[in-house]
Chains A and B, each alone.
Chain A
Amino acid sequence: MSASVSSKNRTLLTRLALFSLLMFGFGYALVPLYKVFCNITGLNAVNLTAAPVNSQVDTGRLVDIEFDSNVHDLPWKFRPLQSHISVHPGEVAQAEFEVVNTRGEPMTGQAIPSYGPREAGEYFKKITCFCFNKQTLAAGESRHMPVVFVVDPALPRDIGTITLSYTFFEVEGNKRAEAKAIPTGS
């Protein structure tokens, strides 16, 4: 082998050996690179982002829920904090109502729901509702009360709007029932 070829070989040997060493370093460089790459692309965050999805939601249609409120023979102010919302059947939604006791003494009442149209009632599933319990309000107290509900996806397709109407009644047997004698002018 001539000297020139021999030195050419040596040069190439050095270069290739250096390249191998570089690639050894690259193996280590992959550690920080991986972290950076994961932060940018979310490659590693696959389990964090995979939140459970409610497959029971019928995203193909929206139902309008309108809210209405009344009091029956009770000196309270009662109103929904939103006039209507739109929900997908199967989706969990929440609405809020406000009630104010205008009297100077505590009173107890209970809200009774009704639905329009009437047949929508069986598809309107309340999860929590202020109407499940008696509400006792101190003198002049105001209270925000939620109702959490799901519209059953089995709701007939021809029902596009449901009106949810609450009426507050004074609870019978309450010792304040005698106060009925005083007209309230509501």
Chain B
Amino acid sequence: METTAMGHAEVHDHGHGPTGLKRWLTTTNHKDIGSMYLWFSFAMFIVGGIMALLIRAELFEPGLQFLDPERYNQIVTLHGLIMVFGAIMPAFVGFANWMIPMQIGASDMAFGRLNNWSFWLLIPASLLLVTSLFVPGGAAGVGWTLYPPLSIQMGMGMDLAIFSVHILGISSILGSINIITTILNLRAPGMTMMKMPMFAWTWLITAFLIIAVMPVFAGAVTMLLTDRHFGTSFFSAAGGGDPVLFQHVFWFFGHPEVYIVILPGFGIISQVISAFSRKPLFGYASMVYATASIAVLSFFVWGHHMFTSGMPVTGQLFYMYATMLIAIPTGVKVFNWIATMWRGTLTFETPMLFALGFIFLFTMGGFSGLVLAMTAVDVQMHNTYYVVAHFHYTMVAGALFSAFAAVYYWLPKWTGHMYNEKLGKVHFWLTMAFFNMTFFVQHFLGLAGMPRRIPDYALQFADFNRISSIGAFGLGISQLLFLYIVVSCIKGGPKAAAKPWDGAEGLEWDVPSPAPYHTWEIQPQVK
């Protein structure tokens, strides 16, 4: 993207702002808030990761070793909630905070103070979740889907989870309103919608998804809360309610939610693939329309999570075909990425490696999703490790890999230093190998009938579980290398140019590295 005005070369030194902790508590600067989001998300990633390792330690061999079944279910539930709402979503909001104003030529987000609130709400929410492990009765042990009747019967840990979900929901709704307003109102002159970088586009669509479905989820958990304590009977069968209704309401939120988690990743991958292929993105307009179609379709497929809950054949067929329909826009995106690389001048720096890993593994996750979409097959696979393998291929190899790609891609812009490329590549290959070691074998376990959310298993599953557990510990330890790479890049390293990737495009590369505290105070003119 060409601009007539260059970014501000002078680095503002603001002597008037508060310093120390107060600076971070009161900041309205999108870069400060973006950094806090990213660090918070990494911390939650570690917390959720430790929980994952507890799960895998328990499953290392048959029998009960470390966790009793109640505690195991609590850990499984919190792992899911923390990774989705604490790690992945805040990571993408962090990228959005840092990059969207720079990409569209805005000086900051539209609502600075709201932005500050969106972030700081995350802290009590996450504390509620983590401390619920230590209240009498323990944390919610119902799975991240919070299905009644169990969630109506759980102890007070469930209430803490419900309040946590409320706060997380408010945080992400406020964040989304901010992002939508920023993108719609604060674009630089000449930056038309169809000139926006894909990351901004995918986030705009994601933000609309969030404000459409997070309130529905908030409503569902509020109904759970009143069923538990205030004598209503929305889901309590004893009072005439219907537990299956909760499943419908939950998945009306839950299916769009999984696209909320992945769509910003699609945007990041689109930009990284284009940068390291040194070619403009193939089929930009079709990418925008594909993203929008995925978002719209996501509202009509929730029933595929409920094939075994009881549904007429017509309903099953509808949800099966509607789900398979999503493969079309997703296929458009994958083929566009491949076409972008076609005859490009490819180099394989770490962001590109993660992007390629993303395409390879996410597509596999997409295909196992198509397998599960078939009603007749799903009845067999429902609640087995096949499903666990499927959504970790989309969430870890999808969302997390795209987050890693984004960190390596924009780290020089944030810190002004180049990260250690060699270690970055080692991080990628370790992650790639251990990820597949952990999750690929889970397909076999699921096909053989191993159920999820159970701390023990039959002896014939022992070998694959052992491989999976070893992979999980490798995957977890490899992320410490990531932390080391990021910290050492912040502390020093070779000086990064304003545009360290010669194929990269976008306004963010017109400002110096590291990006000054205030950018685009005078909006650039986009031709």
Contacts and interface: CB of A to CB of B under 8 A. Distances in A.
Contact of B185 (A5, A22, A25, A31): A5
Most chain A CB within 10 A, of B111, B215, B244, B310, is at B215
A28 B252 CA distance: 12
A9 B216 contact: no
A47 interface: yes
A29 B104 CA distance: 38
Given A23-B215, A28-B223, A9 B311 contact: no
A85 interface: no
A13 B181 CA distance: 7
A24 B245 contact: no
A46 B311 contact: yes
Interface residues of A, number: 27
Contact of B248 (A13, A21, A34, A46): A34
A13 B110 CA distance: 10
Contact of A44 (B214, B234, B242): B242
A16 B207 CA distance: 11
A36 interface: no
Interface in B210-224: 211-220, 223
A177 interface: no
A30 B181 contact: no
Contacts of A44: 242, 244, 310
B173 interface: yes
A81 interface: no
A132 interface: no
Given A44-B242, A46-B311, A47-B310, A12 B219 contact: no
Interface in B405-440: none
A5 B182 CA distance: 10
Given A5-B186, A31-B234, A26 B216 contact: yes
A16 B185 contact: no
Interface string B86-98: 0000000000000
B181 A41 contact: no
A140 interface: no
B211 A16 contact: yes
B310 A30 contact: no
A46 B312 CA distance: 6
A34 B245 CA distance: 7
Contact of B217 (A8, A9, A27, A42): A27
A20 interface: yes
B315 A23 contact: no
Nearest to B249: A30
Interface string A80-120: 00000000000000000000000000000000000000000
A47 B310 CA distance: 7
A21 B219 CA distance: 10
A23 B211 contact: yes
Most chain A CB within 10 A, of B107, B180, B219, B244, is at B219
A17 interface: yes
Most chain A CB within 10 A, of B217, B312, B315, is at B312
Contacts of A43: 311-312, 315
A18 to B, nearest CB: 10
A8 B244 CA distance: 43
Contact of A27 (B177, B249, B314): B249
Given A5-B186, A27-B217, A44-B244, A19 B223 contact: no
Most chain B CB within 10 A, of A26, A31, A34, A44, is at A31
Given A5-B185, A9-B185, A27 B219 contact: yes
Nearest to B303: A43
B376 interface: no
Given A5-B185, A41-B312, A44-B244, 17 more contacts: A9-B181, A9-B186, A12-B177, A19-B212, A20-B211, A24-B218, A26-B216, A27-B216, A27-B218, A27-B249, A30-B216, A30-B252, A43-B312, A44-B242, A46-B310, A46-B311, A47-B310
9 smallest A-B Cβ distances: which pairs?
A: A27-B219, A24-B215, A23-B215, A27-B216, A16-B177, A46-B310, A9-B110, A12-B181, A20-B215
